[in-house]
Amino acid sequence: MSALHESITRKRNTLKRLTMLCGGILALLPMGYAAASPASYPSRPIRLIVPFPPGGAPDVVARLIGDDMSRTLGQPIIIEYKPGASANIGMNYVARAKPDGYTILLASASLAINKRLIENTPFDPVKDFTPISLLTMVPSVMVVPRSVPADSVKSFIQYAHQNPGKLNYGSSGVGTTQHLAGVLFNKVTDSRIVHVPYKGQNALIPELVAGRVQVSFNNISAVLPFVKSKDLKILAIALPKRWDRFPDVPTFSEAGLPGFEISSWLALFAPKDLPQPIVQKIYLAAKHAMDKPEIRNKISAAGNYPVVSTPAYLKKFLGDEISSWSKVIDSLHAQ
């Protein structure tokens, strides 16, 4: 009996210690939860993933809003460049990140394009991301080096027809708006201009300026310095009406290609299931930055239209973009 009593006593003491330990753990859980709750966000640096190399519109916008948002949120925003696979590497990185607000994405139209265009894209643009805010529209322009003997869209089409298969159009990667614009241009003008994809704008622009690439349907922000230096010529711009900054540049409709208004955009997204209070904090910080005239002016000077939006608007906008680009890709058999 004594041995049995001793065994029972030991078991009771063990259970008592386990109960006390579990109670202590449970008592700590609310504190741990509070440390990671939306109310305390952010409590450490935030990473802003840019799925493109440094340079160009994404870099400019990321730096401008990142600096201001960090002051509003009270934590550093660290820009990380994760280019490659037509932006899929960086976008997939964010899609697989924890939905805690410490990893966010500066996305472009590639988010709406790649799932339809690139086989085995590892994420869904709608299901795997939380929309935060549309930031800018990035008008595209048809731009050629000064060595090209064409000063209008019409004369360039004639030049292309005289040199079938001998001219190149450059893009910053397969599946970008620049790539699809070139495919569409070939189709509607019955031209045979060869696509040459590069690893980002920093690789493309020098080739374009040197004349080794004869045309690019590029973001105006990327080519603007070289237009100002007269190394490149803008033949048309993808806007509904002429831009007062370039009053002599016709729209594509005026140049004889109505409906050719392919442009890109930049927007903030986070991984799916990000708590709405954190979404709201990031959105308000972005809006605070984009509402500042000095930031808007700098973004405009770089060739971007500031168009900050709510998360709800961005959700609808992304759906519309996916639908529009899917039709373009299907009609061009570009998959």
What is the predicted pLDDT for the residue at 142?
98
To the nearest 10 degrees (0 to 180), the angle between helices 57-73 and 276-290 is 110
Domain with CATH 3.40.190.10 in the chain: 140-237
Radius of gyration of the chain (CA): 26
* CA pair distance 321, 109, nearest whole angstrom: 8
Residue range 44-138+264-332 in CATH 3.30.70.100: no
What is the predicted pLDDT for the residue at 158?
98
Against a cut of 0.85, is the pTM above it?
no
- 287 CB neighbour count, 10 Å cutoff: 17
CATH-assigned architecture of domain 140-237: 3-Layer(aba) Sandwich (3.40)
| Residues 83/202, Cβ–Cβ less than 8 Å | no
Secondary structure of residue 18 in the 3-state scheme: helix
| Residues 304/136, Cβ–Cβ less than 8 Å | yes
Encode the chain (335 residues) as per-residue pLDDT tens digits: 444 344 434 434 443 443 344 444 444 444 333 344 678 999 999 999 999 988 778 899 999 999 999 999 999 999 999 998 889 999 999 999 999 999 999 999 999 999 888 888 999 999 999 999 999 988 899 999 999 999 999 999 999 999 999 999 999 887 788 988 998 899 899 999 999 999 888 899 999 999 999 999 998 888 989 999 999 999 999 888 888 778 999 999 999 998 787 888 999 999 999 999 999 999 999 999 999 999 999 998 888 888 899 999 999 999 999 998 887 788 665 44
Question: How far are the Cα atoms of 87, 128, 143, 217 from residue 108, in angstroms, in the given order?
Answer: 9, 15, 21, 16
Secondary structure of residue 184 in the 3-state scheme: helix
To the nearest 10 degrees (0 to 180), the angle between helices 57-73 and 293-301 is 170
* CA pair distance 269, 282, nearest whole angstrom: 10
Domain with CATH 3.40.190.150 in the chain: 44-138+264-332
What is the predicted pLDDT for the residue at 4?
35
* CA pair distance 259, 251, nearest whole angstrom: 10
What is the predicted pLDDT for the residue at 174?
78
